[in-house]
Amino acid sequence: MPQHNDTWKDVERAIARYVGGERLSNHALGLETPDVETEHYSIEVKHRKALPQWIVAAMAQARRNASSGKLPLVILHQAGARHDNDLVVMRLRDMAEMGAWAGEDKEG
């Protein structure tokens, strides 16, 4: 049986369920809105066939090196850019375990 390829809409719906938020579907109308919104978060969802392996490897390294009870994060910095514009990457599961999502759905 062929493996199901998630479309970006399927992924947005799944993330909305996971975080207890709402998928906003105003893209077809040409409106600039978040993909998913919760009470506290405005979420842009990016779906790709594969993530850059260096980012995946960086998260694996952060997880390996995190002391017990510490939250593994990856900070992405662009040369020459201000540090307050750096990006913070963490696993969705870790945010859920922190209690960030009101209605988390453990599936997905």
Residue 96, number of CB atoms within 10 A of its CB: 16
CA-based max dimension of the chain? 49
Residue 5 makes CB contacts below 8 A (sequence gap 6+) with none
pLDDT reported for residue 1? 47
Amino acid at 98: M
Structure confidence by residue, pLDDT tens digits, 34-44: 999 999 999 99
- Residue in the structure block whose two tokens are 């062929």: 2
Structure confidence by residue, pLDDT tens digits, 68-104: 989 999 999 999 999 999 999 999 999 998 888 755 4
- CB-based contacts of 47-52 (< 8 A; 24+ apart in sequence): 47/6, 47/7, 47/8, 47/11, 47/12
